Amino acid sequence: MDQEKTEDRNVMEEDAIHTESQPGGEASTSQLLGKGLDIGTANIAAAVQTEDGGVSVTVERNAFLDIKADVYSKNMLTKLKVPYVVHNGKMIVLGQSAFELANIFSRETRRPMSDGLISPSDVDALPMIKLIIEKVLGEPAQSGENCYFSVPAESIDADNNVIYHQGLFEGLLKKMGYNAKAINEAHALVFAELAEQDFTGIGLSFGGGMVNACVCYKTIPALSFSVARGGDWIDKNVAQVLGIKASKATHLKESGIDIRNPKNREEEAIAIYYRNLIHYLMENLSLRFQSGQDMPTFPEPVDIVCSGGTSLVGGFIEVFRDEFSKLDFPIPIKNIFRAEEALNSVAKGCLVAAAIGE
């Protein structure tokens, strides 16, 4: 990379220090530098640069709940002040409101995405995710504005069609008026968090549907892959062994527990599956380092940065370091840390790519 591009990246990273998160709110006006969009299984986040040079990130849960369109249901939603849209004769509640309502009435939310990709079995998946994206991203400041959006890498343990998934969202964003470009999810994380390390290190994005990994050397991805396990995999297995609904397991996981010190059977189950997920990912990453033909030689120890909603549970980094210490990892690691704004970092990295043309 030439010196001018390196300076541009560093300036953008400095500008992105002051970040305002707006959960569930409307997207801000972009400053013509482009936008970043993280399309996750559990959450969708959009990042734009603000007038003062900071970054504003708008996040919404990627879920919806359909409710029978009758007078009783309409009055109930109105009384609870829950916003909804009407689609195919049903009232649809989107995002965080859908998740909260599902827990109240012991129902499961519907998810537009499954295992990191657009759901192939839900006919309402695409129109619902389009509504959520329009809510968080907004319209382009001008036609053809850059919008870099996250896509997963091919999984090493599942047969998933990333090409179709990427093409769907390219088409959706182009219809909205954007110049849409895809970037690997974990690669975007490196852009957001490893500027001081000259964009060299390992990015691990722990999402709802899968975990993405990217080994990067001076902005260039040397290795990218994903495993078809993530937060949903934890929830599904916890729900199965405890005999509860997956949404209840999600609620337990997000209720402030610390997986270093589980206090009951439910928390113990969550902690067990977290440790298994971390060990499984790092074991596979280690194997790929050992078998890789074109892996770069790192002259200095590198950092590992983690992000994503699944990494937000209490004690995550401490448990990660503990599991990592059990492995004979093939390269020296300097620091292991979680992004300060783990839910927003991939969107911020997509914004960096959009602003400078990656």
What does the pLDDT look like over 83-138, one tens digit per residue?
888 888 888 898 888 888 887 777 888 888 887 888 887 888 889 999 999 999 99
Residue 111 has a pLDDT of: 84
Shared domain for 169 and 189, answered yes or no, is: yes
So what's the pLDDT on residue 325? Answer: 94
CATH number assigned to the domain comprising residue 233: 3.30.420.40
Q: Do the domain assignments include residue 249? A: yes
- Structurally, how many domains does the chain consist of? 2
**Mean pLDDT lowest among 56-65, 146-155, 290-299, 334-343:** 290-299
Which distant-in-sequence residues (6+ apart) come within 8 Å of 63 by Cβ? 42, 94, 95, 98, 99, 102, 109, 110, 111, 112
Name the least confident of 13-17, 239-243, 283-287, 337-341.
Answer: 13-17
Is position 72 within any domain?
yes
Q: Hunting for tokens 């839910």 — which residue is that?
A: 343
Whether 128 and 112 have beta carbons less than 8 Å apart is answered as yes
Domain span at residue 71 reads 64-104
As given in the structure block, the two tokens for residue 203 are: 């990015």
pLDDT of residue 22 exceeding 80, the answer is: no
Q: pLDDT value at position 24?
A: 43
Residues 91 and 127 in one domain: no
Q: Are residues 230 and 91 in the same domain?
A: no
Longest CA–CA span in the chain (Å) reads 67
174: in domain: yes
Bridge-based pairing state of the strands 220-227 and 211-217: antiparallel
**In-domain check, residue 98:** yes
Contacts of 165 (CB under 8 A, 6+ apart): 117, 118, 151, 152
pLDDT tens digits for 289-318? 887 666 778 889 999 999 999 999 999 999
Q: Are residues 291 and 266 in the same domain?
A: yes
Checking if the pLDDT of 20 tops 60, the result is no
Is residue 153 within 8 Å of residue 120, measured between CB atoms?
A: no
**Within this chain, do residues 236 and 320 fall inside the same structural domain, yes or no?**
yes
Query: Do 75 and 171 sit in the same domain of this protein?
Result: no
Do 166 and 240 share a domain, yes or no? yes
pTM of the predicted protein model: 0.83
pLDDT(271) > 80: yes
Query: What is the chain's mean pLDDT, rounded?
Result: 86
Residue 110 in any domain: the answer is: no
List the one residue out of 57, 337, 54, 346 whose CA is nearest residue 207: 346
Q: What Å distances lie between residue 94 and 22, 39, 347, CA to CA?
A: 16, 15, 20
In a domain, 109, yes or no: no
- Structure-token pair, residue 167: 């093409």
Cα–Cα distance measured from residue 288 to residue 65, given in angstroms and rounded to the nearest whole number: 40
Same domain for 2 and 149?
yes
Range in 27-41, 162-176, 246-260 with the lowest mean pLDDT: 27-41
Kindly state whether residues 177 and 287 are assigned to the same domain.
Answer: yes
Same structural domain, 80 and 5? no
Q: What share of the chain is helix, strand, coil (3-state, %, to 5)?
A: 40, 25, 35
pLDDT at 10 over 80: no
Judged against a pLDDT cut of 80, whether residue 33 lies above it is answered with no
